[in-house]
Amino acid sequence: MDTTFEKDFESAVASGSIPGVVLMAKDATGDRIDYCWSHGLKTARPDKRDSSDSAMTPDTPMRLASASKIVTTVMALQCVDRGYVGLDDDVQPFLPELAALQVLTGFDASLKPLLRRPKCAITLR
């Protein structure tokens, strides 16, 4: 299946904007992968680009780093949409480990952090 967005990703790889891409989509139950497509290289390093094993595959490990923030945001907003939690609700009942968090207010003369309890609840907003 050659779709417009696949061609867009192929162009991004060809232009060097991204080294490679893997796209996957599951069915509504989340039990079955309905769509899987990969293109490009699994390395951004030019000296490794001629290697025969450098093709991006669905099993290629990737470093997500801050990319997980969008996944977390989507999941949290799905919970809001389904009525499990409100944007202004305290999230501590769902994440009890947040109860111990403190707010950094500065440092003392010996560079020890100065901390205080939060003045308001931690919410999704």
pLDDT of residue 12: 92
Q: Does the active-site annotation cover 66?
A: yes
Q: Tell me which of 52, 66, 68, 110 is the catalytic residue.
A: 66
Alpha-carbon span 10 to 7, nearest angstrom: 5
Q: What are the pLDDT digits (tens) for 30-64?
A: 889 999 999 998 887 766 666 566 889 999 888 88
* Averaged pLDDT for residues 69-82: 94
Alpha-carbon span 17 to 59, nearest angstrom: 21
Q: How far is CA 57 from the centre of its chain?
A: 19
The reported pTM is 0.53
